[in-house]
A and B are shown apart, each in its own frame.
Chain A
């Protein structure tokens, strides 16, 4: 118990003191059918700094570097900021790959992630696949409940699901 309190206190005071990540990765993987053309959805997804226009958990975005590999965006979430970097844009496959550059366990309880969003044609509309591979926020062997694997999976899955719903709403899907 004391150990958990100390860890929580340390985290509160020095969030950057955490190692980049530990050895056990987790995964979140969601897909959603969106009744809008792949081009329409891709335009939203590929605008790296535009995520604030359709993701309701993102209250503010500060982006640099445009929509090309190497671009960065600072996302303001309810409880703080995280920074993401764009790794790869494949316009042909309508796929972007990005990663977490600066973590913030209070804002999102993960210590590192890579993620991919891909837009595929499906029937008259699109199917969007969004997957992430990540680590829990506290990579020590005794993480408190709010920073363990389950917390990381829940937060990441929620972030992706809400993002997909936001994309659907913005793309004009019914």
Chain B
């Protein structure tokens, strides 16, 4: 497409899109800025920061409840987890979790949390209301990213220094399997049908594709330098992977296992989430988000949103239900 046409076309598309969404609550993305100690709520549609919440020092990962009312943020350096009230834009009292709580997921309709403990090599289950530990299992070394398959009740944890994913049965808090991956797995994402798990391997510069039914790695795709973030489109057709040291995002086609698009997004891109037809990437060294319209013929950073220093991990906040 000619460069001169792109601007007006985007403007027209934006006009068409706006009426359909009028009156609806915007989808927010929670962005954790680690250096600044700030959680930003970003309206990805409008491309602006809708709220900023000051957190205790060095926040890392974030997870949202399915009703979009609460967020939980880990602070590995402090051994704390902080709850955040989305509507009130307010952080609640932090509670102690393990030694270095890092990855986090909300389970059981918000009644419990799962937290990976980086230095205890464990997955910990927490009562969300009291902050009390209600379960624990030993997994591999330096567990980082964590995702939950609601349908099967399994949690998948990237054991970074063990080069594997641990599969944990949440009901019993027992490890059901370990799956070898590339070197230093960090971030992971599930396909919408739960059939495939995508694992970004930071040190081996590739993405492991895992068949969840057989708990085996079925493909390993070369991505770029230091893959740090992974997200899947709502239809499961595309997988977005950031390459932190290459400053790029690759879009992988699920069916062909081929990279269909690769784009420069900024300096040290890390976290990636997909909200609707938008891919949001956190550029750690640029202190900004890059917003990519996935329906564009040539996806690129259509929008940039400045955020507080050191954005890394993110979570999509589901629209609040009444």
Q: Which B-chain residue is minimally distant from A20 (CB atoms)?
A: B161
In the complex, are the beta carbons of B225 and A87 less than 8 A apart? Answer: yes
The answer to whether A19 and B142 have CB atoms under 8 Å apart is yes
Report Cα–Cα, A77/B312, bound state, in Å: 32
Q: How far is the CB of B321 from chain A (nearest CB, A)?
A: 32
CA distance A25 to B184 in the complex (A): 16
Q: How many chain A residues touch the partner (CB < 8 A)? A: 18
B216 in the interface, Cβ–Cβ < 8 Å? no
User: What 0/1 readout, one digit per residue, does chain A (10-21) give for beta carbons within 8 Å of chain B?
Assistant: 000000000110
Q: How far is the CA of A23 from the CA of B145 in the complex (A)?
A: 11
Alpha-carbon distance between A89 and B78 when the two chains are bound, in angstroms? 39
**Chain B residues, CB < 8 A from A116:** 245
Alpha-carbon separation in the docked complex, A131 to B267 (Å): 10
Contact A141 B268, beta carbon cutoff 8 Å: no
- Taking a contact as CB atoms under 8 Å apart, the answer to whether B161 and A133 are in contact is no
Chain A residues contacting B142 (CB-CB under 8 Å) are: 19-20
Partner of A97 from the list B100, B118, B245 (CB cut-off 8 Å) is B245
Majority secondary structure, A binding face: strand
The answer on a CB contact under 8 Å between B141 and A19 is yes
Given contacts A116-B245, A133-B268, contact A22 B141 (CB under 8 A): no
Contact status A23-B184, CB under 8 Å: no
Task: Name the CB-closest residue of A to B60.
Answer: A23
CA distance A133 to B289 in the complex (A): 18
Within 8 Å CB of A97, what residues of B?
225, 245-246
Q: List, in ascending order, chain A residues with CB within 8 A of B100's CB.
A: 22-23, 141
Q: Is B128 located at the chain interface by the 8 A CB criterion?
A: no
From residue A29, how far is it (CB to closest CB) to chain B in Å?
7
Q: For residue B164, give the distance in angstroms from its CB to the closest CB of chain A.
A: 15
Report which of B77, B184, B225 forms a contact with A114, defined as CB distance below 8 A: B225
Q: Are B184 and A20 in contact (CB under 8 A)?
A: yes
Chain A contacts for B312, CB-based, 8 A = 25
CB distance from A138 to the nearest CB of B (A): 12
- Do B102 and A114 touch (CB < 8 A)? no
Kindly identify, within residues 175 to 228 of chain B, every residue whose CB is under 8 Å from any CB belonging to chain A.
184, 205, 225-226
- Whether A140 sits at the interface, judged by CB under 8 Å, is yes
Closest to A114 in B: B245
Chain A contacts to B: CB under 8 angstroms = 19-20, 22-25, 27, 29, 87-88, 97, 99, 114, 116, 131, 133, 140-141
Contacts A/B (CB < 8 Å), 12 sampled: A20-B184, A22-B76, A22-B118, A23-B76, A23-B77, A24-B60, A97-B245, A114-B226, A131-B267, A133-B285, A141-B76, A141-B77
**The 4 nearest A-B residue pairs measured at CB:** A23-B76, A114-B245, A87-B225, A24-B58
